[in-house]
Structure 1
């Protein structure tokens, strides 16, 4: 057993000159590190102001971010191996850093002032044990990273931006961990008084190994300075290197989590009312948060691995978009860290590195556009491929807000008129008719004519629920059956509800995500003016897309900035629903309450189907509503089986972000892949009879996928409302509807709107 005052010599065998040189090098490393960190954050400060306050309640944000990072919970999401690996590396690194700091405090601050040392006795022994334990975890964690990167060659870790810096980073960490243990082992061999220092269990084990191969105390003393200097120089070099390469994510990622916007994606940043503003003409258009996003990216590939566009073979890799922007910024920088100054001359395409121009675009000797059909940093096709499903953001462990940057790029394309012709046709239809089908506004309520009861006009009658029906339930034949089913549920539950008929227009959610901000403003302004003229308690939406934008984005709009604009067809000049006094709900949330209150009269054993449920992106990931639709399915008696990708991991149908209105050259459509998953990967397999949805766009996309994927004989696509209606009809609580009302015929299933992509 060691005496109470156990300790060891810190600079064993290192001469006073060597010690002085170490301190000089350490000072230089700290200065280089400090400048690099300052330069990085100075560049962020030069970016545009963010559209939301990201520094409010900063202490609380730091606490929340610390809990998120310390628990590694986002690393564990979808990948337990990566979670364990990162936990070992993170906590091993942090403990070793704290151990080094403790030693510095004792040796260079406390001892010179007091003539004493606290790095002795029981504290020293505990210190040595903790250092060895966490040092082991650190080495194991880095070893796991090396195994996954080089042995199993995990595909998502490799891409166009994989470089030697990635290799240097992971190998530097490994050599730092191993080098520390080798130095400790050599010191134990060379200092016989430490031979019984059993708390240093790794060092002692390695020391035994060194002795077994013939290392004597004298030899250990001779080789120790070489081992020590190699370890010290690598450590100091690593510290100095941190702000200039991939290791900077250790700081930028934490900062990114601190300043995250919990509603990012669901709530897009507003466009300034200044007509002279630009969206993505240059790097100077990006906000400081978007620049921080680029530096926070660790190249882990989680976003790429969950992106449905990428999986379908479209020209989009979310990681590459973020890193392409970063690579361009760095390739044209006056300062390799800070980035291009606002006064710098715009770069020429032939001055860029080969990787700066995306997708092999042809470069000319002119300033490179940030986004363009050809020759831009980002290809227009990549942005058109995005489904705005937010899977990339949900999967990102460092809270990069891809959709914010993607929307900026889309807005630039819209400003330049560089859009897919199908999207331009949709914009024209919305501007001329108020709907994405280009049909008469007067026909918006025609779907109600086949009902056995009348629906109130919410413009004339006070109602409990103002039902925003939406484009597809109003005009698309297949989705009209869903609207009628939901109307019958409301009527059966004796709900006071009404609709706007021809005063209802398209909600604008997806045209906004495509980049048409001002058309969105027109639509939002029209609706809030209409809402103000009605008497109701709650807005209920059929479509999760409508639900999202009315709940999260309409209240964010400062209509006063645009009310006097002669181009805007509204005079409303206030913030609508800024205090949330008007409740906005998806219909499944409303009907779940009705079921809970017993107002539908379901017993829970009406149907015996085996079904699976598809979480719509805008209801699930966007708004964290997963239970209401499931509770309604269970209320019918159906046997619900979950697909492997469900809830926040749900795979997009392909209709979001304008995908409903465009045709893409795809290896497999997202809707086809999702239906295959339902039938092959769900534990019930081919026994799944019904593919249940809760979104009109999903209905359209999956009906299309049934045809193109040859699933028509294998599975039916039904909305939750249709399932509930069938349960009521089966129980006799409602009379059987006609066959045309219960299920759509082949023509209706085609869909009659702009989404009916073949």
Structure 2
């Protein structure tokens, strides 16, 4: 028999029968403790409210998709190449080592007793050793990268109020396990001369040579092996048992969270029943099982916080802390020995205790979450987009906003806006009879979609209808439709506020009233598609109006609609943002553009509701390029775009912040964009963005630096230049 054919090693070298028995007993205990902990964790989620979404439909498909997401580490690479590489090394190293351990266990405990021989010999053994060394090295390097990233800057995004010793214990335990495995291997090579030719174990062999150079003898290695082996084994058993009870559980809960994700979370908020039963956040029991699992899935990586525009400009909002505060509170009041930690936990507004005291989930003072934190949220979904484990922050945030609205504890400006919408139908408090006055000065008449059939029913929106600056955008868009000979009409005084942001502020019933009014109005009109000026309107009409269960509110005398059927449940009516429609018109040659009419240097701001909410990034850019303008991307663009500050009620409120989001965004446009101060025009495609940036241009001192223009205005200028 050749050396190659005989290649193998004794698994329990120097470990006697008693040691082997103790090993298997401890392994069984560790696995049982692990399994019980995992069961208890998931059982705790079952005590959460039923989720309105069917999150387990097509479970095999969900598992396949989640497996691809997790194994590819695609979310980890988003915005952070270093973290992506680090996590890939750690994940794949860990998985390969676990699989390798399982293979060895199967050979020892199943195959050998049944077959009377081992397959862990010869070529297989050598290939096994090489793979284990290669991936074990990647694992150690990856964990080393994590340690460096964690400790090189203790003020970075990995540190916060929820950083604790368990974070240190987690990363150092992984490091000691990785290094310990190589140490066991190296000492074993020194103590077993027959393994001297095992060069495939290149890491272990290198360490063995170092030990021999340092004077470690065969006898010394044999004497030390048992101690080192037991140290490594006990640490591994302790880690396995610890997983469900601390941060390592994210290795399981994160995968489960990705499996249960809602692909359109945030863009479509969950519906509420007529009695608002458990849809507010009166207590932790009002949260759904998925919202509870979000807390355990959080790895404390801080990506959500670093992406959050509210946190960036100094508002009192840290998305990571909100999720972890809710988790900590749940654990502090739980009597479950696995989930609960007892004692007390510091909160945004006070102290939550486990002595039976009642602590409000969200309140101005003394709540688990400060009301100011929720008021600071712009509903931009940057946190959700940045999260690698698909935590749905906005769903929980909206639940808490509903609680504040239910208690009447919202900003006075928002209360005034609610009154205007309820009494007048618009957020400006203007007479609905003047809603179409923006069209004064056009040299053509607007069609009334209530009286004649049109191709496009154009939902103009509040700001293009009543705000002087945005009226110019509405007129520009009307001219574009007319120039392209589009059949379109508007609703005149039957058009009201769309309700998208009202819903995200937490005023669910007012949103339902508005949705009911509009779908009843739509039903009386004849049209092919709906086109919206505002991405906020586009989002809610496309994703949320079709999901309203009108039948549940049919008997409610407070609801000013008489409808029981859902509207557009199968998407037979297309809903568009205007840039999508006009981009097709340009592509079809229905607008006379040659592509070289303008020579401006411009940059473009992706609106949150058009980009992150609805993945529409190309249509506005195609239109800008169709004018001939030289487009330069900002560093934070597309899915990484930085919110203007107008979403989630920000348009109607004032905040204590170091700098306004709109000012920060304009600074980025003229300082951080490759074109720098050569940027002449800051192009937008959202009326709310226009309003916020015009304000930021004044307050931030950018009036002489850059001009705010809507894509529609840029197109009109190009058409005029070409005539």
What TM-score, normalized to structure 2? 0.98
Q: Deviations over 1:377-414 (max 9, x none)?
A: 00000000000000000000000000000011111111
Distance (Å, rounded) in 1 between the aligned partners of 2:232 and 2:328 = 32
Query: Number of paired residues?
Result: 721
1:584 alignment partner, SS class: strand
**How many Å apart are 1:366 and its aligned residue?**
4.1
Q: Deviations over 1:233-288 (max 9, x none)?
A: 00000000000000000000001001100000000011122355451111111101
Residue 16 (structure 2) pairs with residue 25 (structure 1): no
Residue 612 (structure 2) pairs with residue 611 (structure 1): no
**How many Å apart are 1:153 and its aligned residue?**
3.8
1:3 alignment partner, SS class: helix
Question: Is the alpha carbon distance of 1:149 and 1:692 closer, same or farther for their aligned partners in structure 2, counting shifts above 3 Å?
Answer: same
Distance (Å, rounded) in 2 between the aligned partners of 1:17 and 1:708 = 77
Q: Deviations over 1:28-86 (max 9, x none)?
A: 10010000000001011121111111101100110011111111010000000000000
1:291 alignment partner, SS class: helix
1:657 corresponds in structure 2 to 648
Distance (Å, rounded) in 2 between the aligned partners of 1:436 and 1:121 = 77
Residue 80 (structure 2) pairs with residue 90 (structure 1): no
2:552 corresponds in structure 1 to 561
Residue 584 (structure 2) pairs with residue 593 (structure 1): yes
From 618, 622, 636, give the equivalent of 1:631: 622
Distance (Å, rounded) in 2 between the aligned partners of 1:600 and 1:115 = 80
**Counterpart contact for 2:350–2:368, Cα < 8 Å:** no
**How many Å apart are 1:15 and its aligned residue?**
1.2
From 418, 421, 438, give the equivalent of 1:430: 421
Residue 718 (structure 2) pairs with residue 727 (structure 1): yes
**Counterpart contact for 1:129–1:200, Cα < 8 Å:** yes
Residue 480 (structure 2) pairs with residue 479 (structure 1): no
1:588 alignment partner, SS class: helix
2:248 alignment partner, SS class: helix
Q: Deviations over 1:284-311 (max 9, x none)?
A: 1110100110100000000000100000
Deviates more, 1:441-450 or 1:484-493: 441-450
2:157 alignment partner, SS class: helix
**Counterpart contact for 1:465–1:497, Cα < 8 Å:** yes
Distance (Å, rounded) in 2 between the aligned partners of 1:220 and 1:272 = 70
1:149 corresponds in structure 2 to 150
CA-atom RMSD in angstroms: 1.3
2:332 corresponds in structure 1 to 331
1:349-428 correspondence runs (5 A): 353-355=344-346, 357-360=347-350, 366-428=357-419
1:537 alignment partner, SS class: strand
1:752 corresponds in structure 2 to none
1:544-583 correspondence runs (5 A): 544-583=535-574
**Counterpart contact for 1:43–1:339, Cα < 8 Å:** no
Question: Is the alpha carbon distance of 1:579 and 1:305 closer, same or farther for their aligned partners in structure 2, counting shifts above 3 Å?
Answer: same
Residue 281 (structure 2) pairs with residue 292 (structure 1): no
Question: Is the alpha carbon distance of 1:445 and 1:680 closer, same or farther for their aligned partners in structure 2, counting shifts above 3 Å?
Answer: same
Deviates more, 1:182-191 or 1:45-54: 45-54
2:246 corresponds in structure 1 to 245
1:606 alignment partner, SS class: coil
Residue 36 (structure 2) pairs with residue 35 (structure 1): yes
**Counterpart contact for 1:2–1:197, Cα < 8 Å:** no
Distance (Å, rounded) in 2 between the aligned partners of 1:27 and 1:352 = 31
Distance (Å, rounded) in 2 between the aligned partners of 1:673 and 1:228 = 56
Question: Is the alpha carbon distance of 1:484 and 1:41 closer, same or farther for their aligned partners in structure 2, counting shifts above 3 Å?
Answer: same
1:756 corresponds in structure 2 to none
**How many Å apart are 1:5 and its aligned residue?**
2.7
Question: Is the alpha carbon distance of 1:336 and 1:429 closer, same or farther for their aligned partners in structure 2, counting shifts above 3 Å?
Answer: farther
Distance (Å, rounded) in 2 between the aligned partners of 1:243 and 1:295 = 10
Distance (Å, rounded) in 2 between the aligned partners of 1:275 and 1:191 = 71
**Counterpart contact for 2:535–2:686, Cα < 8 Å:** yes
1:345 corresponds in structure 2 to none
Question: Is the alpha carbon distance of 1:532 and 1:693 closer, same or farther for their aligned partners in structure 2, counting shifts above 3 Å?
Answer: same
**How many Å apart are 1:338 and its aligned residue?**
4.0
Distance (Å, rounded) in 1 between the aligned partners of 2:262 and 2:332 = 29
Distance (Å, rounded) in 2 between the aligned partners of 1:362 and 1:479 = 47
1:612 alignment partner, SS class: strand
Distance (Å, rounded) in 2 between the aligned partners of 1:164 and 1:541 = 51
Gaps of 5+ in 1: 341-350, 733-758
From 459, 469, 486, give the equivalent of 2:460: 469
1:573 alignment partner, SS class: coil
Distance (Å, rounded) in 2 between the aligned partners of 1:528 and 1:294 = 37
1:153-168 correspondence runs (5 A): 153=154, 155-168=156-169
2:119 corresponds in structure 1 to 118
**Counterpart contact for 2:4–2:123, Cα < 8 Å:** no
1:158 alignment partner, SS class: coil
Residue 130 (structure 2) pairs with residue 129 (structure 1): yes
**Counterpart contact for 2:352–2:359, Cα < 8 Å:** no
Distance (Å, rounded) in 2 between the aligned partners of 1:365 and 1:233 = 39
Question: Is the alpha carbon distance of 1:380 and 1:405 closer, same or farther for their aligned partners in structure 2, counting shifts above 3 Å?
Answer: same
2:213 corresponds in structure 1 to 212
Q: Deviations over 1:102-132 (max 9, x none)?
A: 0110001111122111111111111000000
Distance (Å, rounded) in 2 between the aligned partners of 1:361 and 1:152 = 29
**Counterpart contact for 2:602–2:632, Cα < 8 Å:** yes
Residue 703 (structure 2) pairs with residue 702 (structure 1): no
Deviates more, 1:612-621 or 1:358-367: 358-367
1:102 alignment partner, SS class: helix
Q: Deviations over 1:703-730 (max 9, x none)?
A: 0000000000010000000000000111
Distance (Å, rounded) in 1 between the aligned partners of 2:306 and 2:313 = 11
Gaps of 5+ in 2: none
